[in-house]
Amino acid sequence: MKKPQLKTALLSLSALLFAGSALAADPAFPKAPAGKVTLEVWSWVPGLDKTVAAFEKAYPNIDVKVTNLGGGPQTYTKLLTTLKAGTGAPDVAQVEYGFVPSFVDTGGLADLSTLGANNYKKYFVPWTWGQVSPDGKAVFAIPQDTGPFAMVYRDDVLKKYGIAAPKTWAEYEKAAATMYTKSGGKVKMGNFYATFAPWFMALAWADGGQFFKRDGDSWVQTLNNPSAKKVLNYWYGMIKKGHVGTIQAFTADYWNAAGAGQVASNFEAAWGPGGYAGSMKDKGAGLWRAANIPQWTASNTVKSGNWGGSSSVVTAQSKNKQAALLFSLWLNLSETAISQNWTNGGLFPASDAGLDFAILKDKTKNPSKFFGGQDISSVYATASRGVNVNFQWAPWFPFANDNFNKQMDLMLKGKLTPNQALDAWQRETLAEAKKQGYTAR
Amino acid sequence: MVVSRPYLPRTPAVKPSRGTPWLFLSPFLVLFTLFYIAPVMYAGYLSLFIKKRAGFGAAKEVFGGMANYVRAFQDTEFLSSLLNILKFGVVQIPIMMLVATALALVLDAAKNRLQGVFRTAFYLPYTIPSVIAGLLWGYLYSKNLSPFNQIVTALGGGRVDFLGSDIVLWSIANIVTWTWTGYNMITLYAALQNIPTDLYEAARIDGASPWQLTRDIKLPLLKPSLLLVLIFSIIGTMQVFAEPFVLRPLGYVPDNITPNTYLYLVASRDGNFSYAATLAILLAIFTFLMSAVFLRFTRRGGEL
């Protein structure tokens, strides 16, 4: 017969195998509602339409329709529009943690605690539950994937300049200076992503920084918190001396420089290495390694932050919330779905058990292969378990996200000091929050 | 059964009533009202509401009168976006019109086989969707890989950050000029082709030089078309959106680089639809005023 059919057969066979092994390890999911149910799912996970086949097999009366919207701001615009319009929203949608509060705020998300979602809290890495249930009672989403922070570095470049992978930020700063001197400024130890607030926030998060907090009936915003100031001043010092670069993340410029060994290390979320492998292809393949992010004081316990990751929300418009919750739990806790989402989309699981699945450690495949066969997933698992639990976002975070870029631009031009930039970020964002009608200080 | 009748000349059985023209206009009017007037009215209605929150949960839209309009006139970000687009227009529109006119005149004067080739070549950028054009230019603008920068550094100069926040407005102007010059050229070229050739003949007999032909015959006759191009360019400039938006992921492009990017972000990012509606209405009024002023101004200059 023709090849594609063989491939499909193999795929469904492997799906079946996954399904078989999954049943034993998976937590007990809630009962499926009776009767024929169709769920509309919006997501940007590649291959999700195939993953759900295993779900439909296990729950024959539930039909899942997946629409891949590709992700990015446009996806949120579409979801926001349907929630605002009161019609047209899917049953389940993928939303990044930082954006969950702004959707909660529309009143368009179902509170899953009323359907028993809190019974599943124990299966997730603790900090992820804090992201979907800020007050510890209402649950607005089921955690899906995560982006705990680790350091990625070019082993060959570090060795060339006689530098050991730094374990503290003091060592990192010294390494950056050494590399600058020895390479004549051609190779930078690191790179500051000046247009990605969550990258910066993850570094401050690792230091225990808090940016938003609910306080009774109002909000407290502290974008200029002590950790943020510490982290930004630290980086600005290295930027000014030219010891680290400021190339835009995810641009051809960055991949070119990183591939050419001109960026010796960086701090990337768990989904980052997959992007490195995909974007740099054979340039520098096998030469990268991952390690815990440097700590402010030498210690054996790893404290980390998180950048990105997403969750599955159930909309208030859904007519089948019970089935939608069941699907969201299955999608993010079953070994079948976690494995498929890792293989197809590089989704680093929020499920605690999922962090140790063997499929994440496959040396013959990327990202591990790109990292010289290193078990980088266990580095990231350590990072995830070391992420500070009490970290909240505010509904107006999308504004803060963009305003950060403005302040960093002014700082890099020398018009603001790091402290002034953070103060301006705090001031302008707070003014906007108030304009949006929030009680915030 | 139908019985055939002898043909009888007759007057219309029904006299056309006053309603008949409306009947014929109705397909247009219904669609126009539904898809144009109604949304504008709705935007106007929406702009009168503000968000109010009590504690947590969804915001309520409450009647706020002119509050959003007052806010808009105090919103320095919005006002500076208007200033940005004004600067943009003052520089970009004249350059584009000058180049388009020059190209049209050259094409009109050159009567050989290459004419078609050039006409297509100049027009081609317009056929490329603006998002794709933005992506292409985004690559050409990237600091380290840009061919322009490679030439500059080869000549011993420093790299230019085309996407830097000070320059990016002009980088966008360049993309817009690249896209629209050819389109405008075609409009002007078509107008030139419509000029009766006997005018040229008569002028030549009178001893006019090619330059005099251009200055005293072609350009004056081109004036209505130039005016049309100008008005469309003003309106088009006020609507610049795709180019800056595509460049956003590549660097720091300010939220308020153009009024449209700003109001899009207010609506889609900050979820403030009523304030965005307010800005849209103000922008429409502003565009209308600009166009009206120019029409007025140019009409007074020469008789049209």
ipTM: 0.83
pTM of the model as a whole: 0.86
State the nearest Cα–Cα gap between B84 and chain A, in angstroms: 16
Pairing of strands A37-43, A92-96: parallel
Give the orientation angle of helix A48-58 with respect to helix A335-345, to 10 degrees. 170
- Check pLDDT > 60 for residue A21: no
Q: What is the residue extent of each domain of chain B?
A: 68-301
pLDDT for B180 equals 94
- Check pLDDT > 90 for residue B172: yes
B61 touches chain A (CB under 8 A): no
Q: How many CA atoms lie within 13 A of A180 on its CB side?
A: 16
- Check pLDDT > 70 for residue B42: yes
pLDDT for A7 equals 46
pLDDT for A6 equals 46
**Cβ within 8 Å, pair A105-B271:** yes
Q: B69: Cβ–Cβ under 8 A, 6 or more apart, which residues?
A: B47, B278, B282
Lowest mean pLDDT among B111-115, B232-236, B290-294: B111-115
- Check pLDDT > 60 for residue B304: no
**Cβ within 8 Å, pair A406-B270:** no
What is the domain class of B68-301 according to CATH? mainly alpha
Contacts of B53 in chain A (CB under 8 A): 437-439
Q: What's the CA gap between B184 and A164, in Å, rounded?
A: 61
- pLDDT digits over A86-107, tens only? 899 999 999 999 889 888 888 8
- pLDDT digits over A391-402, tens only? 999 989 989 999
Restricting to B residues 168-227, those with a Cβ less than 8 Å away from any Cβ of A are none
Closest CA relative to residue A306, chosen from A203, A213, A216: A203
Enumerate domains of chain A plus CATH numbers: 3-143+310-347 (3.40.190.10), 149-305+389-435 (3.40.190.10)
Q: Which member of A102, A251, A396 has the closest CB to residue B250? A: A251
Report the pLDDT averaged over residues A117-136.
94
- Report the largest interatomic distance among the alpha carbons of chain B, rounded to a whole angstrom: 95
pLDDT for B4 equals 57
* Sign (positive or negative) of CA dihedral B56, B60, B64, B67: positive
- pLDDT digits over A186-226, tens only? 999 999 999 999 999 999 999 999 999 988 778 999 999 99
Most confident of the ranges A241-250, B12-21, B286-295: A241-250
pLDDT for B10 equals 61
Instruction: Determine the residue of chain B that is closest to A440 in CA distance.
Output: B55
